[in-house]
């Protein structure tokens, strides 16, 4: 029986054939054009010393990096819970890992070349309190931010490699030529199917738990460093959670679109089902509620505490040119999706689900904008928003789209192994990867 209990498991030949078609060339071409235009716009602004270019670059780094990292973390959560429902669609999220190397390069670029433009406190560090001077010390800050993101990126790419390797190992050679060498390395020393299943499952169990710890701690640190400290006088212990859960929410919202795209593109109605639509919709609704909870909880505690060093952050964002932007975040990310996704039909009917997913994505992008721009520009009559923000956002979208489609064209688009292996459900009862004997319950 399948994960949803009604149909026989698909054959290996069927799953491999379903994932064979490549992404349309037009998507790759459009992504490349957007990436070139957006990054050239940024490069022009950076070389001419335009701070707006750096700020727009920073906003989009926060937006796309958190989403991509959260997507891989969600994949790892499926391993921690030994989930079966997601086997047919989880590769669509694993492809988000392809953006992480670019995100790493972008972070290093901001820390090394754009630091005086991106971080308002960089040139006025001596004016801050002694403790903040220590925490934001230039070398400590750079090593901390880059070091944390390096560790997380390496861990997430490693995990994705172990997952893709299983499918490459049992699939015929095929895919984008640029990754032929990587596929060859994955096939090297690929052993007997049952042993590979359990040894990989065991390794992934360790990696997934470590990743969960590094992800939670790492994105708190990155949220503090790359967002909260732009206003060096504000602090909130919930800030990191609020930032990375926004990325988690949009990773799931975007997955609701990805499953529909790939189902239609690959003609895989038997592998990507209406039950997947409903399951993902329920997750989107649940984490919309959770995002609203932690966002309001952070605001409420600061509001009734009424301490100037905390309240000024929200006062600034609820006055002057920033008021409508801040209200839009709540409406787009919580009010519309929460009430709109209450019904089953809204979660499974593509037009409504995609509409609310788009609302959430726009809302979280505005949140990233509001995290950065008021801290940099202060009280202004007109919010800085023009071609810099638009073109650099499209550039990031192009880089993300090109990275994602390159990954999906290079590797199997489905988890062939876990969908078709006769041993696939043995992972529900862990075994010793060496002896193939079941482990005692306490282990």
Buried b (16+ CB within 10 A) or exposed e, 59-96: bbbbbbbbbbbbbbbbbbbbbeeeebbbbbbbbbbbbb
Q: Tokens 């359990």 — which residue? A: 198
Burial of 288 (0-12, 13-18, 19+ CB in 10 A): buried
- Whole-number Cα distances in Å, 70 to 94, 204, 251: 10, 17, 7
Report pLDDT for 1.
36
Q: DSSP H helical segments within 378-436, as ranges?
A: 387-410, 416-420
Q: What does the alpha-carbon distance between residue 408 and residue 400 come to, in Å, rounded to a whole number? A: 12
CA distance 366 to 220: 20
Domain ranges of the chain: 12-427
Q: CA 143, CA 115: separation in Å to the nearest integer? A: 13
Closest C-alpha among 244, 218, 240 to residue 229: 240
Report CA torsion sign: 283, 286, 289, 293.
negative
Q: Both tokens of residue 18?
A: 């379903």
The pLDDT, as a whole number, for residue 218 is 96
Paired tokens of 362: 């726009």
Residue by residue, pLDDT tens for the chain (443 residues) are: 344 444 468 899 999 999 988 887 789 999 999 999 999 999 999 999 999 999 999 999 999 999 999 999 999 999 999 999 999 999 999 999 999 999 999 999 999 999 999 999 999 998 899 999 999 999 999 999 999 999 999 999 999 999 999 999 999 998 999 999 999 999 998 989 999 999 999 999 999 999 999 999 999 999 999 999 999 999 898 999 999 999 999 999 999 999 999 999 999 999 999 999 999 999 999 999 999 999 999 999 999 999 988 899 999 999 999 999 999 999 999 999 999 999 999 999 999 999 999 999 999 999 999 999 999 999 999 999 999 999 999 999 999 999 999 999 999 999 999 999 998 888 877 777 677 777 765 44
d(CA 93, CA 70): 9
- Per-residue CA distances from 93 to 48, 162, 199, 253 (Å): 37, 15, 23, 11
Task: Find the length of the chain.
Answer: 443
Decide if 49 contacts 299 (C-beta within 8 A). Answer: no
């Amino acid at each position: 029986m399948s994960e949803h209990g009604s149909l026989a498991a698909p054959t290996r030949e069927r799953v491999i054939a379903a994932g064979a078609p490549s992404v349309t060339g037009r998507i790759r071409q459009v992504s490349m054009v957007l990436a070139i235009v957006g990054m050239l716009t940024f490069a022009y602004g950076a070389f001419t010393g335009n701070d707006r270019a750096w700020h727009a670059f920073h906003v989009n780094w926060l937006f796309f990096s958190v989403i991509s990292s959260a997507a891989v973390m969600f994949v790892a959560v499926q391993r921690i819970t030994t989930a079966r429902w997601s086997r047919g669609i989880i590769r669509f999220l694993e492809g988000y890992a392809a953006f992480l190397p670019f995100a790493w390069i972008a972070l290093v670029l901001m820390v090394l070349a754009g630091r005086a433009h991106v971080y308002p406190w960089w040139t006025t560090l001596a004016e801050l309190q002694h403790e903040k001077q220590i925490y934001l010390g230039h070398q400590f800050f750079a090593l901390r931010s880059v070091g944390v993101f390096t560790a997380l990126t390496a861990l997430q790419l490693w995990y994705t490699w172990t997952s893709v390797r299983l499918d490459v190992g049992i699939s015929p050679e095929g895919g984008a030529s640029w990754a032929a060498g990587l596929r060859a390395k994955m096939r090297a020393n690929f052993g007997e199917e049952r042993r590979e299943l359990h040894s990989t499952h065991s390794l992934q169990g360790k990696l997934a738990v470590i990743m969960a710890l590094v992800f939670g701690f790492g994105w708190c640190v990155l949220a503090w460093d790359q967002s909260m400290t732009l206003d060096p006088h504000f602090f909130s212990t919930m800030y990191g959670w609020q930032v990375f859960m926004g990325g988690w929410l949009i990773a799931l919202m975007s997955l609701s679109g990805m499953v529909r795209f790939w189902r239609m593109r690959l003609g895989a109605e038997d592998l990507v089902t209406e039950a997947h639509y409903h399951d993902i919709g329920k997750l989107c609704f649940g984490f919309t509620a959770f995002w609203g909870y932690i966002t309001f909880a952070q605001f409420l505690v600061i509001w009734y505490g009424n301490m100037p060093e905390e309240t000024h952050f929200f006062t600034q964002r609820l006055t002057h040119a920033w008021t409508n932007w801040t209200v839009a975040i709540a409406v787009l990310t919580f009010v519309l999706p929460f009430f709109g996704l209450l019904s089953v039909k809204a979660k499974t009917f593509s037009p409504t689900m995609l509409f609310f997913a788009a609302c959430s994505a726009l809302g979280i992008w505005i949140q990233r904008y509001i995290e950065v721009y008021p801290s940099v520009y202060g009280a202004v009559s007109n919010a800085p928003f023009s071609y810099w923000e638009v073109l650099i956002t499209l550039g990031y979208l192009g880089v993300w789209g090109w990275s994602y489609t390159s990954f999906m064209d290079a590797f199997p688009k489905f988890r062939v192994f876990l969908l078709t292996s006769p041993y696939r459900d043995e992972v529900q009862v862990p075994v010793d990867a060496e002896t193939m004997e079941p482990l005692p319950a306490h282990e």
